[in-house]
Amino acid sequence: MSSTSPLFVLCSSRLPENRLNMHPNEGADLGLMMTQHSARTGEGVDIELYLLNECPKESLEINPRFWERLGRPKKAIISYDGTLIKIEKA
């Protein structure tokens, strides 16, 4: 399972609840090269992960509701095994 270094969590209410944005450099840490990826979290939630150059490096953009469900972390580590994405507090 590949993981990122700790990423700053940025909330954006303009994002749909099931969408995550991160910089392509962090996507490369997970072995992701395409711009958009569909995945499922360990909690069974389907998400869309986008790798965007506009997203600040070393950060993860999420919807505030999703952030609340994660426990309001300031930093998070993303792990990916090819199917499941795991988001942990850092």
65: domain range? 2-89
Provide the pairing of β-strand 46-51 with 19-22: parallel
Output the pTM of the full model: 0.89
Q: What percent of the chain has pLDDT over 70?
A: 100
Residue 70 Cα to chain centre, angstroms? 11
What is the number of domains present in the chain? Answer: 1
Which CATH number fits the domain that encloses residue 59? 2.40.40.20
Whole-number pLDDT of residue 43 = 81
pLDDT greater than 90 at residue 51: yes
**Residue 53 half-sphere exposure toward CB, CA atoms < 13 A:** 0
State the number of CA atoms in the 13 A half-sphere of 51 facing the CB.
15
Alpha helices in the chain (DSSP H): 24-29, 64-69
